[in-house]
Every structure is written in C-alpha cells, then in structure tokens.
Amino acid sequence: MIKKLQHKYALSHEGAVDMIKACISVTITNMSLMMTAGVLYMLISDMLSGGLKKDRIGLYVAASIGVLILVAVTNFIQYNSTFLSTYKESGVRRTTLAETLRKLPLSYFDKKNIADLTTNVMGDCAQIETASSHWIPEMIGAVISTTLVGISLFFFFDWRMVLASFWVIPVAFIIIITCSGAEKRTVKKLSGVKLDLADGVQECLETVRDLRANNAQQRYMDKLEKKIRKVEKEALLSELKMAVYVNSSTLIIRTGIGTTALVGGILFANGEITLLTFFMFLMLVSRLYDPMQITLQNFAAIIACGVQCERLDEVLSHPQQTGKEELNNEGYDIVFDHVGFSYEDGEQVLKEVSFVAKQNEVTALIGPSGGGKTTVSRLAARFWDVTKGKITLGGMDVGKIDPETLLSNYSIVFQDVTLFNNSILENIRIGKKDATDEEVMRAARLANCDEFVELLPDGYNTNIGENGSELSGGERQRLSIARAFLKDAPVILLDEATASLDAENETAIQEALSKLIKDKTVLIIAHRMRTIANADHIVVLKDGVVAEEGTPDELSAKDGIYAHMVRQQTAALNWSI
C-alpha cells in the first residue's frame, strides 16, 4: 500500500506513511464530531421519556465537556498530521526531485524544455502539496467515517431510514468515478497547452533582440496571443466538465434529504419509528450532506491532480546514472572500443567508433557537420551512456563510475559559455568551489582575463549580469577557460572554443589554451583546420564512423577528407568580394 501511494502521489516512504496517518486522524476527528449528535440524541430522549433528572444533568455536562476536549485534541492531531507533515514532505519532494534531476543522464534534458522542468519543480509540487494537505485526507477520512456511521446506524436503528439517507452517497461517487477518465484527458490537454504557453513566453524573453532586429515582434505576439486564447478555452472546458460532474453528484446528494423526509414521514405515520428517530435522521443528513459535497469536489480535484502526480513520478522513476565512487584508473588515456550510440528515437549516431586519445597528447576530432564529433566528446565524459562497446579512462570503464566522480577528472570548455548573474570571482570559482580569491585570480591571469577585468568598475567583484550580458563573447570565453585552469583536471575537452571569435580574441584565447592543455589528455573538437595544425593525432568522423585518423602530415599525404577540408578552408580564407 505504501509503495502504491509513493508512485501514485510522488511521495517518499515517510510521506506515504504520514498520508495514512493523516487519513486516520481525519477519520477520528469526524467521528468525534459525530459524538455531539449522540449526546444530543440521548439528552432529548431523556427529556421526552419523563423529563431530565437532576442526577443526569452532571453526566450530560461532563459528556459535553469530554466531547469538546476530544474534538479539540483530535483537531490538533489532524492539523499536525495533515498540514505540518505535508509541508515537510513538500520540502522533501522538491529536494528529492532536484537530486533526481542532478543524477539523470543529459539525454533526458534533450527531451525536456526548461518550462516543462520548471513546472515540475514549482507548479506540480505545489498542486500535490494542496492535494496532500486538503483534498486526499479530507476525502478518505470523510468516506471512512461516513461508512462507519452508516454501519452503526444500520445495526442500532431502522435499516430503512439508513438506506433512505445513505443511498445517494455511493451513487454520487460512482458518477465522479465514471467521468474520471474524461476529466484526466481534459486536464492533460490543459497542462499541455499551458506548457506550450510557458515555453512561448520564455522563448519570447530569450529572443527579444532577434525579434526586434527582424521586426518580428508583432508576428510573434500574435502567435503568443493564440496560445493564450487556447489556454483560456481549455481551462473553461475543464472547469465546465468538472462542474457538470460535481453538480450532478451534488444534485443526487441533495435528493437524499427528500428521500429521508419521505421515508421517515411514512414510517412515523405508520408508527414504525419514533419522532426522535425521525428528527435524528433529518439532523444527520443536514450535518452529513454539506461536508460530503465538499468531499465530492475534493474527489474531482484529486482525479485532476493525477496528471501532475504522473508527471512527477515520471521524473522520479526515470533510470539514473549511477556507479562506483572510487577511481582506479592508471593514467588518463581515453580509449573508444567499438562504440555505438543511438538516441531514444532510434537514430544511429555512432557506429563501431574506435580510437585512442593518449595522455600528454592533443587529439582532434574533425569532420563534416553531423558526423558525431560532439557526441563523442559527450560520451567520453559520460554525459550519455553508450549503447554498444566501451569507453575507458586509464583502463577504467567510464560507464561504471558515478558521473560526478568521473567528472572530477575533466575540465570542459564549451563553445557556448554559461555564466551566472554574479561577480567574475564567483563565476570562475565554479571550477573549484573552495578556491581562495588568490587562486581564482591566478587562474584568471592564466586565461588572460586580467586585461579586461582591470577596466571594469569593481574589478573581479563586478557583477556581469544574466549569462554574462555585460561582457563580450571573447571575454565570456576567457572566463570559461579560467574555470578550467582553476579546476586543473588531467583531462581537457574543448568544444570549438574559438569558432565564433574575432582574430584578436582568438589569438588571446589560443594562448590561454596552450597553457591550459600542457601535460594533459586533450580532446578537441575543431572546424578550423589551423586550430589543430599542431595536434598530435587527428580523428576524422563522418556519418558516425572513423573515416580517417593519424597525424596532420599522414592525413595530408593520404589526400582524403582531412586534406580536402584543409584545401577548402584555405580557399575560403583567400576569397574576397
């Protein structure tokens, strides 16, 4: 049962146990509230059967006080069991979700956009928090307590009055259950258009410069307007469907008052029940039906919440990248041994790729676009797992090592640099979180960052804006290289770090890279042939296979793909308008 609750509502083991406790506490609270009706029934019964005797007054006073104390205590327990436990579980859920996302393979994030993941962490968690604190315990507690009351009345009072009062409850629930499939489909569709809208808004904010530059703001806003209207339409349809289901069940519930009055009136007229019993059942349905209507609304909301639960469970249940946390490599040679790789859509990206990137050497990956160069570098760092073959680092199978432990051996400089809205010091310190300011500035000097940092108003303490918006492309790239200097890992992965820079910045960054890669295992992705003219080994990838490999001189002599690329780029450099 606990396992089912964990998967159904994306709970931890403790959260599932707390939910069971919450349901029990709500049931006890509801039963304690029913005791007030019992005390009142006994009091009226005594009064009608000959008057209230003095020796019974104290008993009823004590019973009333006892019931009030019981209600207060059970309400206190219920509050702790539902709200406090839920908020604690909500924190655990968000932490667990963040930890799970941290351990998922990067291939997972290729299928998800930021708006979707943000909704997981914020919106879905908040929705389940509301369900766990308000809807689920209240509904289950109400159903259990109502069932217990109905069974008790069936044995101690007239069964016909029990049926007349309670028949509407299962019928109302059947109506909601019957429509649950349609409701889930509607909510899923609504969630889809909401995510599409969130993605559109985010894309608009991220591309506002390009939209303005191309006078495309109005066209984009028109598309965004359509997405807004679609969300509005689906939200109205969802509310309408839920209102039809809930109002239909509520109408059935209200019918119970009529059947109770009708059956009770007939039985009382025939002398088969007393006036007190008739009165008690009328009082019971007036007390029972109002909270039951709220319970039905909660039940409909719980059904709708199933979509958010499924989305969260899909993340939490996704296979994680795990492995040993002890390194046993001997040296830092990277060996690709008949490696094959396919994305989940079945597209074969790499086929039987084999080569060695040796320690203290620069190994360059070149070839036409789409040949698999970036995929090879990502597989080397276990961003993804191979589907065939094996990759080793110093003889150690990277697929059997915990990704975070493995990445302690790698410094990676991407072509697209990601910076944070913080100071230059803190952006570089990401390379080594416990580095001193002196260590950070030393790494910055090695990456030739001091040239532009000295011109900034607060030097290394200057805030560089969101994703380094206050810096140029070359300056941002040099910060990325400074991170790599600070980390000082034995393996360097360079993903065309100078491809989009001007000549002056490219020269400065190449000087910094020359110092960075000294005595390391270096795997570099290159498009410019002059960048890798002094590489020790070149691997040419085309259509997912190793088409050529060797030194620059050997490949030039072969007059194959490498030689052709060199000639093409030389011709491009000599071209003029």
Any domain includes 325: no
CB 358 within 8 A of CB 531: no
Residues 559 and 461 reside in one and the same domain: yes
* pLDDT value of position 118: 78
462 falls within a domain: yes
What pLDDT was estimated at residue 573?
A: 64
What gap in Å lies between CA 494 and CA 364, rounded to an integer? Answer: 9
> For the chain, which ranges sit under pLDDT 70?
7, 48-55, 344-346, 497-506, 509, 572-577
Which of 272, 313, 279, 303 shows the shortest CA–CA distance to 6? 313
For residue 539, the surrounding DSSP H or E stretch is strand 537-542
Same domain, 451 and 484: yes
What is the structure's pLDDT at 336? 94
Q: Residue 101 contacts by C-beta under 8 Å, 6 or more apart in sequence?
A: 117, 315
Provide the pLDDT for residue 356.
94
In a domain, 566, yes or no: yes
Say yes or no: 15 and 89 in one domain.
yes
pLDDT for 491-512, tens place per residue? 999 887 665 556 666 677 677 7
Which pLDDT does position 391 carry in this prediction?
A: 94
Spatial distance between the Cα atoms of 36 and 48, rounded to a whole number of angstroms: 18
What does the pLDDT read at residue 572? 67
pLDDT of residue 308: 78
Amino acid 338: pLDDT: 93
Same domain, 171 and 243: yes
What total of structural domains would you count in the chain? 2
For residue 483, being part of any structural domain is answered with yes
CATH number at residue 354: 3.40.50.300
Residue 188 domain flag: yes
- Last-in-domain residue among 283, 316, 349: 316
Identify which of 23, 139, 25 has the alpha carbon closest to the alpha carbon of residue 75. Answer: 25
Is 434 within the bounds of a domain? yes
- Are 354 and 476 contained in the same domain? yes
Q: Which of 316, 350, 366 is the last residue of a domain?
A: 316
Residue at token pair 């040679």: 333
128 and 158 belong to one structural domain: yes
Same domain flag for 369 and 437? yes
Which structural domain range is residue 471 located in?
334-573
Same-domain pairing of 273 and 379 = no
- Residue 345, pLDDT score: 61
Phi, then psi, of 479 in degrees rounded to 5: -65, -40
Strands of the sheet with 396-397, listed across from one edge: 348-357, 334-342, 388-393, 396-397
413 and 442 co-located in one domain: yes
With respect to residue 536, please indicate whether it lies within any of the assigned structural domains: yes
Edge to edge, the sheet with strand 491-495 lists 410-413, 491-495, 521-525, 362-366, 537-542, 545-550
Residue 406 and residue 280 share a domain = no
Residues 171 and 259 in one domain: yes
Residue 328, domain member (yes or no): no
**Residues 243 and 355 both lie in one domain:** no
Q: How many CB atoms lie within 10 A of CB 324?
A: 13
Between vectors from CA 565 to CA 561 and to CA 571, what angle results, nearest 5°?
A: 145
- Please tell me whether residue 338 adopts helix, strand or coil conformation: strand
